[in-house]
Structure 1
Amino acid sequence: MNHDHSSLKARAHDLLQHAGITLGGNRPTDLVVHDERTYARVFAHGSLGLGEAYMDGWWDVSDLAGFFSRVLSSHVDESLRTLDALIVHLKARFLNMQRGEHAWEVGRQHYDLGNDLFQAMLGKRLVYSCGYWAQAENLDDAQEAKLDLICRKLQLRRGQHVLDIGCGWGEALKFAAERYGVSGVGVTISKEQAEFARELCKGLPIEIRLQDYHELDERFDAILSVGMFEHVGARNYRSWFEVARRCLHPEGLALLHCIGSNGTPGRPDPWIEKYIFPNSVIPAMSQVATALEGLFVVEDWHNFGTDYDRTLMAWKANVDAAWPRLAARYDERFRRMWDFYLGCSAGVFRSRRDQLWQLTLSPGGVAGGYRVPR
């Protein structure tokens, strides 16, 4: 057994050296292994093994985001394309995970965790998506700037009626109603989010529905969707755009804000799939472009992916600060899981392996052209 450990350790050592990471070194991105079984677990199970071993306290690194950024920038992870990755990929291809009963799973597992965690993590506004840091110095300003950017891109005017597909805790609709004088409808599949959003938007002309977006069939002046397209699934991209087109006034604009991948259609990461977001998948440009063909004109395709690195690091700082009072409800293994999730995600955006897109769309092209706000 020890011989096996040492040969796997040597292999891990060689792989990590390519990424400028030393086993047992003393830089913040160096890996400290507490349990020698870690190597076998990672080589057998790829990212799932890596994440679970971290949750179990088998290894540590003081700068998780920096560690993942190095690993991903050097493409070391591609040497670990293991069987579980293949299985998850096949599952995504052949089972339509995001329709019917399955569609509600992400709501149950992730978004119903407990608002206390999200309130601590997300800051002043419960906006669980990438902030816009062009002029912002802190998270709250970055989230407000993002919401305002969306409203400006949609050219919202007083009296318009707006749809938010996957409205989360209702912050975007609240912002649009208060600052731009619009009324709106938000749909979500999380019961806890719907209840919270109704409370948040009390007294404003906003209706929050616990409803699958496929059921929508009414007209709106503008449509927005922030950070929900990742849960739609490739087999439903076309129907998502069909719903948006059916519900959008011919002169209106739609804005889609989502994470995107650089290459061919991505497969969900097995660890993220199991612990964080069941049934989520990051779309490729080609999939999005194909799905909207013949339905929309792309007026603008904006990428500010590195802003997600800053957003995630700000979330982590918030969770760290709040941990003393969260510890009563969440155990140490949960804490390590959450750290791994935020650190790994920040590394993904820092290494530019994933992007953050905002697409501004019109049904037939804006007459005279569309001037892009940034």
Structure 2
Amino acid sequence: MTHAAAPRLAALAEELLGGPLPIRIRAWDRSEAGPEGAPVLVVRHRRALRRILWRPGELGLARAWVAGELDVEGDLYTALDRLAGLLWDRDPDAPRSPRPRPARLATLAHRVLALARPLPPPPPPPEEVRGHRARGPLHTLRRDKAAVSHHYDVGNDFYSLVLGPSMVYSCAYWDDGGTLEDAQTAKLDLVCRKLGLKEGDRLLDVGCGWGSMVLHAAREYGVRAVGITLSAEQAAYARKRIADAGFSDRVEIRVQDYRETADGPYDAISSIGMAEHVGSQRYGEYARGLHRLLRPGGRLLNHQIARRPLADEDEYAIDEFIDAYVFPDGELSPVGTTVDQLERAGFEVRDTQSLREHYALTLRRWVANLEAGWAKAVALTTPGRARVWRLYMAASALSFERNRIGVNQVLAVRTPASGDSGLPLRQPGWR
């Protein structure tokens, strides 16, 4: 029997997968196994196996990736797609090979342990969120602020490298051809048109990021705008950007939670890529709060990532990698649940548009920006943090492409008792 590590790892992987290995493996001893010409999963250190043994599944793999103990040579998207059976539910219509029984799994674990060596589990990489679950109940003001700070206070220069000049961290709106900047401007303008913004309107942007939406609305539509964020770094960047553009008299940026905002009425509210942070426990409160802040006839544009519904919703679990490294405490809901919650809060839902394919294109551009500026990205953060973002964005692009998740713009109106929504019979220019 060979003592080279890669053939032993390949044999273990094929037993766990119940079929042929979809990628090639290169181990720490430079041995290789698996199909020629396929992307190569590089296992740089035995510690990667110990992480997976002590935390089987996605989080163990993610820890090894962030620590640099796992890597991919070749196309990252192809590698992730071929490994999708390990990371996501496989296509229910696809033929399944039998998975090992529990007793066989125990034997396989012992074989992995022999390769990994029986040492204590390595500590999680420093980029992982530690102890955020210990800070009290989910989605309190304090805990939400800490979660948002973890994600968004990575550094404005880092985000500028990834997002490009638009500094818009949400799905762009693509046409054939065009740049990322063009597509992000098109998305902001689509939101403004759906909200029916006009000179003198008062706009609230919930989760305003670096100020792109409020700045576009003030410049192009003449609104007076308030943007709120929980990130101090975002707020400082947005204020400078708005001052440099000469709109400080029309646009205000606040470090403020949506639950602390009480200076309505507003003519329109945009919430673009923020509601994923709200959580199912607080979503009704979120929807009712925005309803109260709108004048009768005012419009809400809620732009939000959605997951697919489950046969048993009690089985929904927050993604371990995303929770530990990217969006602490973030939750996704089916679009039907979002519409239901908005209607229960008193809104009349008037339009829903899926932008799923648009987000896949956006994420691929962000990944390309990160890879092109890799050395600078590492210098601006850490090697581990840059690796988190590369994996997160590439895997998310595939999730949108494969219809595992979606993103939707929901237009809702605080329709007054008279029933006059203020919307025209036809909606020109919305598509």
Matches within 5 A, 1:70-219: 70-72=82-84, 74=85, 77-78=88-89, 96-202=137-243, 203-204=246-247, 205-217=250-262, 218-219=264-265
Residues 109, 20 of structure 1: alpha-carbon distance in 2 compared, 3 angstrom cutoff: same
Quick one: which amino acid aligns to residue 410 of structure 2?
A: L
Aligned-residue CA RMSD in angstroms? 2.9
1:70 is displaced (CA, Å) by 4.0
Residues 26, 102 of structure 1: alpha-carbon distance in 2 compared, 3 angstrom cutoff: farther
CA contact (8 A) 1:67 1:347 kept: no
Match of 2:116 in 1: none
Identity, in percent, stands at 35
CA contact (8 A) 1:20 1:70 kept: no
1:104 is displaced (CA, Å) by 0.4
Match of 2:60 among 25, 49, 53: 49
Deviations 1:92-142 (A, max 9, x none): 9xx742122101012321211111100111111111111111345321111
CA distance in structure 1 between the partners assigned to 2:408 and 2:79 by the alignment: 25
CA distance in structure 2 between the partners assigned to 1:76 and 1:341 by the alignment: 13
1:39 is displaced (CA, Å) by 5.1
Match of 2:380 in 1: 329
Residues 40, 165 of structure 1: alpha-carbon distance in 2 compared, 3 angstrom cutoff: same
Match of 1:292 in 2: 342
Residues 351, 180 of structure 1: alpha-carbon distance in 2 compared, 3 angstrom cutoff: same
CA contact (8 A) 2:204 2:226 kept: yes
CA contact (8 A) 2:359 2:397 kept: yes
Tell me, what secondary structure is at the counterpart of 1:176? helix
Match of 1:272 in 2: 322
Deviations 1:39-85 (A, max 9, x none): 5643643111111111223332232333333444x5763499xxxxx
Residues 16, 150 of structure 1: alpha-carbon distance in 2 compared, 3 angstrom cutoff: farther
Match of 2:95 in 1: none
1:14 is displaced (CA, Å) by 4.7
Residues 16, 138 of structure 1: alpha-carbon distance in 2 compared, 3 angstrom cutoff: farther
Q: In the alignment, does 2:77 pair up with 1:65?
A: yes
Residues 136, 186 of structure 1: alpha-carbon distance in 2 compared, 3 angstrom cutoff: farther
Match of 1:22 in 2: 23
**Gap runs ≥5 in structure 2:** 26-34, 91-98, 100-131, 416-420
Tell me, what secondary structure is at the counterpart of 2:406? strand
CA distance in structure 2 between the partners assigned to 1:360 and 1:224 by the alignment: 10
Residues 176, 21 of structure 1: alpha-carbon distance in 2 compared, 3 angstrom cutoff: same
Match of 1:283 in 2: 333
Matches within 5 A, 1:245-256: 245-256=291-302
Quick one: which amino acid aligns to residue 234 of structure 1?
A: S
Matches within 5 A, 1:338-357: 338-357=389-408
Larger mean Cα displacement after TM superposition, 336-345 or 310-319: 336-345
CA distance in structure 2 between the partners assigned to 1:29 and 1:358 by the alignment: 36
CA contact (8 A) 1:166 1:225 kept: yes
Matches within 5 A, 1:218-257: 218-257=264-303
1:173 is displaced (CA, Å) by 0.5
1:360 is displaced (CA, Å) by 0.7
CA contact (8 A) 1:194 1:210 kept: yes
TM-score, normalisation: structure 1: 0.87
Tell me, what secondary structure is at the counterpart of 1:208? strand
CA distance in structure 1 between the partners assigned to 2:11 and 2:51 by the alignment: 15
Quick one: which amino acid aligns to residue 282 of structure 1?
A: L
Q: In the alignment, does 2:358 pair up with 1:310?
A: no
Quick one: which amino acid aligns to residue 344 of structure 1?
A: A
Residues 250, 29 of structure 1: alpha-carbon distance in 2 compared, 3 angstrom cutoff: farther
Richer in helix (by share): 1
Tell me, what secondary structure is at the counterpart of 2:373? helix
Quick one: which amino acid aligns to residue 50 of structure 1?
A: L
Match of 1:12 in 2: 13
Larger mean Cα displacement after TM superposition, 327-336 or 149-158: 327-336
Structure with larger RCO (C-alpha < 8 A, sep 6+): 1
Match of 1:259 in 2: 305
CA distance in structure 2 between the partners assigned to 1:287 and 1:339 by the alignment: 30
CA distance in structure 2 between the partners assigned to 1:17 and 1:317 by the alignment: 34
Please tell me whether Structure 1 or Structure 2 has the larger radius of gyration of its CA atoms. 2
Residues 6, 253 of structure 1: alpha-carbon distance in 2 compared, 3 angstrom cutoff: same
Residues 326, 77 of structure 1: alpha-carbon distance in 2 compared, 3 angstrom cutoff: closer
Tell me, what secondary structure is at the counterpart of 1:66? helix
1:184 is displaced (CA, Å) by 0.7
